[in-house]
Every structure is written in structure tokens, then in C-alpha cells.
Chain A
Amino acid sequence: MGNAGRNLEAAQPQYQASQLTWDKIAESKEFKDLMATKKTFIVPAFIFFVVYYFALPVLVGYAPQFMSIKVGYLNLAYLFALSQFFVAWIIAGLYVRAANNFDRLAEDILNKAEDAKGGK
């Protein structure tokens, strides 16, 4: 770690604070709320899309008869593959909505931290 100090110039951004400050922010209620709010959305959304996506090759690969069932002039396999696109877009849209909330929570933390720095 002998070079860590000099590395600051090229690798670290403008806002510098002591480890104590970072720990304090990380332990604050506001920050914990932010992390909890993020987790409540991101973890289930991630698991859902991974399961939904891998259901496609699994069902098509191991239940081809079922996926070949005709629906009008299409079949289940085609409809399921097509639905993947819309599901991905819907999850993205829901995330953007949820993330507006994350931004509000983060804003409070930012303001507090800047105030503590003396209005820098």
C-alpha cells in the first residue's frame, strides 16, 4: 500500500474525507434506508428476470412438445421468446421508477455530507 497516497492523483475523485466520516455515513440511518430500499427492488427483480430468461432455453430444450403447441398461427415457443423482450422492458421501466426514489434518499445523504464539509 506504500503507493496508495500518490495514487490519489490519478485514480481518486475530488471529494476526500476521513475513514471515520465514511464509516459514519455508512452507519447512518439514511444510508441504511437507502441500501434496504435498493435491495427490496433489485434482488427480487434480478432473480425474477434470470429465472424467466432461463425458463426459455430450459422449456424449449426439455419440453419441446409442450412449447410446440399452436396458438393461432403462432406457437407457445415463439410467444414466450417474444414475451422476453416485453418483460425486460417492463422490468427496466419499473427499475427507473424505483430508482427515482433511490435518488431522493441519496440526495439527503449528499446534502448532509456536503454540509458537514462546510458547504464545499
Chain B
Amino acid sequence: MNIPLTMFLVFIAITLGITYWASRRSAGASAYFAASRQIKGWQNGVAVAGDYMSAASFLGIAGLIAFYGYDGFMYSVGWLVAYLTVLLVIAEPLRNAGKYTMADVLAYRLKPRPVRATASLSTLVVSAIYMIAQMIGAGTLVKLLLGGMVTYNQAVIGVGILMIVYVVFGGMLATTWVQIIKAILLMSGTFLLSILVLAHFHFSFSQFFAAISQVTYRDAKGAVVVKDFLQPGLLYKAPYGPLNLISLGLALIFGTAGLPHILVRFYTVPDAKTARHSVVWAMVLIGSFYIMTTFLGFGAATIVGPDYIKGHGGTNMSAPLLANALGGSIFFAFISAIAFATILAVVAGLTISATTSFSHDFWTNVIHNGVERKPGEEVTVARISAFVVGAVAIALAIVLQTWNVAFLVALAFAVAASANLPVIVLSIFWRRFNTVGAVSGLAVGLLASIGLILISPSVMGIDPPTVTGAARHLIQAKAWFPLDHPGIISIPLGFVGAILGTLVTHEPASQDKFNELLVRSNTGLGAEKATTH
């Protein structure tokens, strides 16, 4: 039997076992949406890392380094540093003042219905964008990793059904443990592979870096070139390269702390202090992971070579091909199974955050004025919406498979940074802030990020007729906006929208309740407690 497939099946069997175990502990809203708030600090930290490090991190960044050397490494830095915003500014106030979603914090002193409706919309948009990117990647990767044994559509449907099962039956508890197992697998696979790379160079950094300084490959015209891969400038070229990276950096620094599927994780721990410790755990794992990814990327560049990777599946296959070269087919299968686990853990996290927001914010609080018509309605609605989210994600991933969707992850971060983060921060820190400000901030941030992406080189460009299918730009015209990453413009616009909306209106009630939110978010007075079974 095919070894990668066997490993995939083993992982599926283990996670389904966990889902069964979790399903018997997921009765009640706090259990279903927040794992009864009983997840330990280190567990939540590992789960945050598992929720965050997508296949784009694991395979994508290793591939970037294998093809562009240093610039790929520089790209990876912001993904860790962004957690300082989560740690210093967001995690603890959110845990102290909220219940299940980020909108809980906003609804505290603002008018609940308009604010929850807009925040829920923004949450769903961010989750949907991120989800489509993950699902299309899943289809392509699983097909590639299993050597064509399954088709793209089968892979997408399989991943979709699994994530529905985890979330519908196991809720947040099952999602958490799928993420923990994935993170442990990912860390150990990356560690083993890094050790094998160093062993290849006889554990001599000087040999390793000597090889990195002269990587040989064929350029676009077919001429053989030798490049120093430690040298910056292979990816981020003038005139707009550095500005693009700065704009991406802004989206990461402000966007990570506005990603709904990361934020909901902080409701699963008993208190704000545990939330704090879990961010630190996550930072240790995520940072070590990106440093090791350097070894993977440089290892793939020097041991496998960009030309070979190009001929065997492209950039995303850099890490699996390196595993094959260093550890043979069993190690290839192991790394492939890790990539598969990585995808599943992330889509499950996205599904639960989207369904929590729909059910808690939109259904219960916007449509039914904060009243559950019968006990357990909120969880039932969440389970049904998990089905819908899964079905829609499968359908979109199949319909959009021939589209060029490389811009989607950047867009998700841009929306989170431009719409969600400004209103969360202003609602916690600015007494004058009010409902109109929140709604206009969310709307402006959302529209600005999407609008700017649509006119960016990610979507607009003129391809020669030889470029076909998913590689073609969606709009065949010269881009109107020069950057791929809209953050540098859209984040300030989000803040301006929120501030202007506030200044043109008066809402004494929101100012009156500011002290309450300030005290609650900073002291944890009256914060949601862990529940017992």
C-alpha cells in the first residue's frame, strides 16, 4: 500500500478518535465554543501555533527560501514578531472582557446589534478568504503529495468533510487537540529535517553557509547562474519590492491580532494570565519553527536545487522533495502527512471561529436580541452553520480552482489589520469611541483592503498568451495600484474611518460605559470562569 496514504489514514483515524472523545464533553455553549475554558496555558500555546502555521508557512516559506534565499527568510520574520501585538495589546483584555468572539468586547459599550452585525460580517469575510486559500492549497497539495492517487476535487471534498466532522461533533475541544497534535508533528518533522540537512554538511555551519553562497540554477532564460543566497534582493526588487514588504509587515503586525480564528483561542483558557502564558508558548514554537525553516529552505536550495524542484511540482514541493532526498520515501511520506495535518488543523480553526461568530453574534444577538429561544439553540445553530460553512468552502474551492488566488492570504491579513484591529483597539483604549465609529471603521477597513487588492498587481496584469490557467492574472490590464499588499494604505484608512465616524456623532451612553470596560479588561473583574463538566 502507498506509504503517504497510509500515514494520512493513521492521522485521520487518530483525529476521529479525539473527536469522538471530545463529542462526549461538548455539551453546553461554554464547552462547545470555548472547550469549557479549561485548556492549559501550554496546550493553548501549542494549539495557537497549530492554528496559525498553515501549509503556506510550512511549504510556502521553505519554497520561498529555496528559490529566493535570504528574502524568503526576511519574509518569515514578521509572522513571529506580530505576536508581540497579540501579547502586549490584545490577548488579555479580550479574555477579560469577552465571552466567545471579538464582537463581545465591542458590544460592551457600543450598541450591540449594529456592532455585532458588522463585526460578524468582517469575521466571516476574513475566515472565508483564508478558508478558500487553504482549501485550494489543500486540493493541489494532497493531489501532489499522494502522487495523483486522488483528484483535486476528491482531496477538497475529503478535507472539507473532515473539518465538518471535527467541528460539528467535537467543537472547540476537538479542534484544539487536532491543532495540538498537528503542531507537535510539524515541530518534530521540521526538527528532524533540519538535523538531516546539517548532517548532510557534517554539522559544519561553515560548509553549510559556503554552499548557500553559491547556489547554481538556470534563470528564466535558461542560462546557468550562480547566486549567493544570503544576499538580499532576489525577491523584493526595486522600485516597489521593499515597500511591498513594509506593507505586508504592517498587515502582519496589526492583522495577526485581528484574526478571528486566533482570537477565539484565548477564550479556551481559564483566565487572562493563562492567555498571556499561552501567547509566550506559541511564540517559542512559532519562532523556532521559522528559524528551522531557514535550514529547510537553504537545504532544499543547496541539496536538491531549484531546477529539480521546478521540474517536480514547483516551490511548494521544496520541503517534501528535500525529505525525499535526505530520508527516502518513508520520510517523504511523513513530511507529506504533516503537511496534510497542517491543512486540516487550520481549516478546522477557521470553521469553528466562523460558526461561533455566526451563531453567537449574528443569530443570537443580532436576530434574536440576545435571547436563546430554547436552551442549547446557540450550539445547534453553530453545528448547522458548520455544515453550511464546510459545504460552501468545498464548492468555492472546486469552482475557483483555476483562478489565481495567491493574493487571498495577504487579503485576509489586510482585512483583519484594517477593519478588525482598529475597532478593537479603539474600543478598549479610547473613551470617546462610539457605535458609528466602529461600524464605519469596520466598513472602511474592509472595503479599502478588498478594493486595493482588486486593483493591485496580484489581480491586475497583462500576461502573454503562453501563460494559462491559474497562473493568469484575473484582470488583464495594467495594475492601478503598485503594491501587492494594501496594508500601508488600508490600515490608516481603517483608523481614519473609525475616528471620523466617532467624531461626527455623539453617543453619551458609550462614554458612560467606558470605565466599566476599562476596569473589566484590565483587572479581569467578572471575567468568564472555567466551567466544570
Interface residues of A, Cβ cutoff 8 Å to B: 1, 3-4, 6-17, 19, 22-23, 25-26, 31, 34-35, 38, 42, 45-46, 49-50, 53-54, 56-58, 60-62, 64, 67-68, 73-75, 77-78, 81-82, 84-85, 88-89, 91-93, 95-96, 99, 103, 106, 109-110, 113
Contacts and interface: CB of A to CB of B under 8 A. Distances in A.
B249 A57 contact: yes
Interface in B74-117: 74, 77-78, 80-81, 83-85, 87-89, 92, 99, 104, 107-108, 111-113
Interface in B217-258: 230-233, 236, 238, 241-243, 245-246, 249, 253
A1 B287 contact: no
B307 interface: no
Nearest to B369: A3
A24 to B, nearest CB: 9
A73 B206 contact: yes
Nearest to A93: B280
Contacts of A11: 99, 104, 107-108, 112, 365, 370
B515 A14 contact: no
Given A11-B365, A61-B243, A96-B276, 19 more contacts: A4-B111, A7-B365, A7-B369, A11-B99, A14-B526, A14-B529, A25-B525, A57-B246, A61-B246, A64-B233, A73-B205, A75-B230, A77-B231, A88-B287, A89-B283, A92-B83, A96-B277, A96-B280, A110-B525
Interface stretch (B13-21, B184-192, B454-462, B516-524): B516-524
A53 B280 CA distance: 18
26 contacts: A1-B509, A3-B112, A4-B111, A4-B112, A6-B369, A9-B372, A11-B99, A11-B108, A16-B526, A25-B515, A26-B515, A31-B522, A42-B89, A50-B253, A53-B78, A53-B81, A60-B232, A62-B242, A78-B70, A78-B230, A85-B77, A88-B84, A92-B279, A95-B87, A99-B92, A106-B524
A114 to B, nearest CB: 8
Contacts of B89: 42, 46
Contact of B522 (A3, A62, A106): A106
A84 B288 CA distance: 12
Interface of B is mostly: helix
Contact of B88 (A6, A16, A46, A89): A46
Interface string B296-313: 000000000000000000
Given A58-B246, A92-B283, A103 B273 contact: yes
A85 B519 contact: no
Interface residues of B, number: 73
- The interface centre, meaning the residue of A9, A92, A95 with most chain B CB atoms within 10 A of its CB, is A92
Contact of B518 (A26, A53, A81, A93): A26
Contacts of A7: 107, 112, 365, 369-370
Given A92-B279, A96-B280, A45 B88 contact: yes
B107 A56 contact: no
A6 to B, nearest CB: 5
Given A26-B519, A106-B524, A109-B525, A10 B365 contact: yes
B526 A46 contact: no
Contacts of A35: 518, 522
A77 B232 contact: yes
A37 B37 CA distance: 28
B112 to A, nearest CB: 5
B463 interface: no
Contacts, number: 183
Interface of B: 70, 73-74, 77-78, 80-81, 83-85, 87-89, 92, 99, 104, 107-108, 111-113, 205-206, 209-210, 213, 230-233, 236, 238, 241-243, 245-246, 249, 253, 273, 276-277, 279-280, 283-284, 287, 290-291, 360, 364-365, 369-372, 378, 509, 512-513, 515-516, 518-520, 522-529
A61 B241 contact: yes
B74 A88 contact: no
Contacts of B74: 56-57, 60, 77, 81
A51 B395 CA distance: 43
A25 B209 CA distance: 59
Contacts of B108: 11-12
- The interface centre, meaning the residue of B73, B99, B230, B525 with most chain A CB atoms within 10 A of its CB, is B525
Contacts of B113: 3
A112 B290 CA distance: 45
A8 B287 contact: no
B455 to A, nearest CB: 23
Nearest to B107: A11
A58 B371 CA distance: 52
Contacts of B516: 17, 19, 22
A67 B287 CA distance: 22
B370 A10 contact: yes
Given A10-B371, A73-B205, A96-B276, A34 B80 contact: no
